[in-house]
Structure 1
Amino acid sequence: MKKGRVTIIAEIGVNHNGSLQLAKQLVEVAADAGADAVKLQTFRADRLVSRQAAKAEYQRQTTDAGETQYDMLRRLELSVIDHEALLRQCRELNIELLSTPFDLESADMLTRHLGLGAIKVSSGDATNAPLLVQLGRSGKPVLLSTGMCTLADVEEALSALAFGYTRPIASRPSRETFRHAYLSAVGRQALAERVTLLHATTEYPAPYDSINLQAMDTLSAAFGLPVGLSDHTEGIAVAIAAAARGAAVIEKHLTLDCGMEGPDHQASLAPAAFRELVRSVRQVEASLGSSLKIPAPQESENAKLVRRSLIAAQDIDEGEVLTEDHLAVKRPGGGLSPFAYWELLGTRSKRAYRKDELLE
């Protein structure tokens, strides 16, 4: 991530529907839209869910209600070879590839085999201590989603990451050792250098009144880390608002068609909407500027036109005593400030003026 620039992540997730060709199309769309990164979800269904696990309500509404979550996820897997092909494509298009691992083996593949630059942790795994420790031990930067979390949950997750980042492999993980790592100077430094927190609401699509964007400020104040938004709302308004609140990262699902069958298409943006999101965020980013309240360079010439000066309301003779009848406040600016109005009253004019002439 570049300081002062919002990192925009196009969340492909499982919107490829298990097709490498569709995944490649989504990568092209993301790169064309100006996204900084694309993100996948990397898993094996048999390591993620039991064969009897039910689907979430939003999944039942957007996929075959009769199949299990396991069967759905099996259809949405990408192979190691698929990941390699997508990584090559991303390098060719100069867009970063990220992914969210949902099991230890997938995490190892992403960090060791593919060597991705950063890893995303899903909100569902914010309490998955073994995964967090392994990711910390990889040394990779982490984007940690915090949906469903309290501040205490986030602190525990950060403690596990701090342990992984700073403790030798032989160290035994435990809540106590996690806390020691979190409170240590070296642990805090590791987190500051590598972790970004993403505020999120785990619902697809998420209702606007469930987002609580102000919680981004709470996360920032509590942990002193960069904060962004993983946005699951419909449309682009919330993501734009997050950029205006200083989000370091904005993640948004991308699809080719919101009407496609699949669990996440409905909460995603189609290509044109995603391009508009990127354009709007960049405009907001440029508009944030500085906290100093000073005139912009472009305002200097305008000030001369739209501000006012003290003007002779009528012809004035040299030595004439100035009254309210002699003074007017009119454009252009650049002359004697209207704040000097009362200072001139009762004084004698130093020279003669014609009506509408700037006073000195």
Structure 2
Amino acid sequence: MFSCLPSVIAEIGINHNGSADLAKKMIAAAKESGAAACKFQLIDAEDLYSPTSIAAPYVDNGLGINGTLKDLFNKVAVSDETFTELKRYADNAGIQVFASVFSEKKLPLLKKLEINAVKIASSEINNIPFLQAVEKSGLTSVISTGAGELKEISKAVSILGKKNKLKAILYCVSLYPPEPADINLGNINILRKKFSPIFTGFSDHFEGTALSIAACALGACIIERHFTIDKNLPGPDQKLSLNPSELSGLIADLKAVFIAGRPVDSWFLSGREKKAAATFRRGAYYMKNLSAGDIIKPEHIIMQRPENATGYQTAAFIGKTIRRNVKSGDPIVKSDF
């Protein structure tokens, strides 16, 4: 997952709605779509939310919940046993799986399962005790920057990066979905310059794939997208998620952008393009039948496709005596004179 090639994380998050069977279908679909990894959210609602936690406009959305965010996350929670089962399933499917955690209580589980990385959600960027616990755990980490000031991001990086275990910083806008005016992809370059050699990516909540592709062009090598197998499933994140065909299309586009956008020090032409040029460039041809001894005049020459060895060197032939008989349409060659 952590390479200079564009890698995509399929953020299953809570789209499984608490169903292990649905989660497995999403893991399989993420693998089939070409994702490098899939990610879940391990939330202990009792630990995360106070009894007075507020309701959010998106809480219900077909789940039959008429309450608070705490109620939502209690309903869709993944138990340690279920996550262990999902990790085993993902291993067998051949795709990496990791998780966002919101409490140090979940860190031992990730270590036990040898999870590749712990994702630190944007909401925890200023949770210093938690960041210190992650650093102390020795787990590899990835952090999102939603709603974070640069000084807060720098503080988090200084804590998590002590043992070079912080592998990626994902620019993120914590709105669901954001408007284009809420986003500035220029922040990716700021993160790259300030925190290199840590990889930079984009956790994208914008609808469609345009900004993910643009982020790749700006140097983001990890793209995180919410993922579902059916946008009509109940749940707050389904509509802004990518389905399998959209995810596979995004991955193909990202690879194309990465290959086409690689840096060069001098002007680049591919061998295929050079070869193709001969079919649409013009060469010099005789316009009429001529006999040996004739003097070449401008009206004897026409420039036509395909290109030949004489190219555009017509001026060099004017006034010269031809040494052989030629027919209209024959290519002009230097040995004719």
TM-score exceeds 0.5: yes
Matches within 5 A, 1:1-360: 1=1, 3-59=3-59, 66-110=66-110, 112-163=111-162, 165=163, 190=164, 194-224=166-196, 225-288=198-261, 291=264, 293-316=267-290, 322-338=296-312, 340-345=313-318, 347-349=319-321, 351-352=323-324, 353-359=326-332, 360=334
Q: For the residues of structure 2 that align with 1:217 and 1:316, how far apart are their CA atoms?
A: 65
Q: 1:160 to 1:298 in 2, by over 3 A?
A: same
Residue 187 of structure 1 corresponds to none
What is the identity percentage for the equivalent residue pairs of Structure 1 and Structure 2?
28
How much has 1:219 moved relative to structure 2? Answer: 1.9
Q: Give me the TM-score of the superposition, normalised by structure 2.
A: 0.86
Q: Is the 8 A contact 2:9 2:38 kept in 1?
A: yes
Q: Is the 8 A contact 1:6 1:250 kept in 2?
A: yes
How much has 1:288 moved relative to structure 2? Answer: 4.3
Tell me the amino acid that sits aligned with residue 336 of structure 1. T
Partner secondary structure for residue 271 of structure 2: coil
Q: Is the 8 A contact 2:295 2:322 kept in 1?
A: no
54-63 or 139-148: which moved more? Answer: 54-63
Q: 1:141 to 1:324 in 2, by over 3 A?
A: farther
Q: Is the 8 A contact 1:319 1:348 kept in 2?
A: no
Q: For the residues of structure 2 that align with 1:84 and 1:296, how far apart are their CA atoms?
A: 48
Q: Is the 8 A contact 1:10 1:252 kept in 2?
A: yes
Tell me the amino acid that sits aligned with residue 211 of structure 2. V
Q: For the residues of structure 2 that align with 1:232 and 1:126, how far apart are their CA atoms?
A: 18
Q: Is the 8 A contact 1:240 1:284 kept in 2?
A: yes
Show CA shifts across 1:57-92 (max 9, x none): 444667667412222222222111111101110110
How much has 1:9 moved relative to structure 2? Answer: 1.0
Tell me the amino acid that sits aligned with residue 274 of structure 1. L
Q: Is the 8 A contact 2:189 2:219 kept in 1?
A: no
Q: 1:350 to 1:38 in 2, by over 3 A?
A: same
Partner secondary structure for residue 27 of structure 1: helix
222-231 or 36-45: which moved more? Answer: 222-231
Q: RMSD over aligned Cα, in angstroms?
A: 2.7
How much has 1:42 moved relative to structure 2? Answer: 1.2
Partner secondary structure for residue 115 of structure 2: coil
Structure in which a larger fraction of residues adopt helix: 1
Q: For the residues of structure 2 that align with 1:220 and 1:350, how far apart are their CA atoms?
A: 64
Partner secondary structure for residue 358 of structure 1: coil
How much has 1:40 moved relative to structure 2? Answer: 0.6
120-129 or 214-223: which moved more? Answer: 214-223
Q: For the residues of structure 1 that align with 2:274 and 2:307, how far apart are their CA atoms?
A: 11
Partner secondary structure for residue 212 of structure 2: helix
Tell me the amino acid that sits aligned with residue 324 of structure 1. P
Q: 1:294 to 1:316 in 2, by over 3 A?
A: farther
How much has 1:148 moved relative to structure 2? Answer: 1.5
Partner secondary structure for residue 265 of structure 1: coil
Q: Is the 8 A contact 1:52 1:70 kept in 2?
A: no
Show CA shifts across 1:75-127 (max 9, x none): 222111111101110110010011011111123322x2222111211111122
Q: Is the 8 A contact 1:135 1:161 kept in 2?
A: yes
Q: For the residues of structure 2 that align with 1:294 and 1:349, how far apart are their CA atoms?
A: 40
Aligned residues: 330
Q: Give me the TM-score of the superposition, normalised by structure 1.
A: 0.81
Segments of 5+ residues of structure 2 without an aligned counterpart are none
Q: Is the 8 A contact 1:142 1:195 kept in 2?
A: yes
Q: Is the 8 A contact 1:317 1:349 kept in 2?
A: no
Show CA shifts across 1:272-298 (max 9, x none): 333333344344445546646433233
Q: For the residues of structure 1 that align with 2:314 and 2:192, how far apart are their CA atoms?
A: 49
Partner secondary structure for residue 267 of structure 1: coil
210-219 or 9-18: which moved more? Answer: 210-219
63-72 or 141-150: which moved more? Answer: 63-72
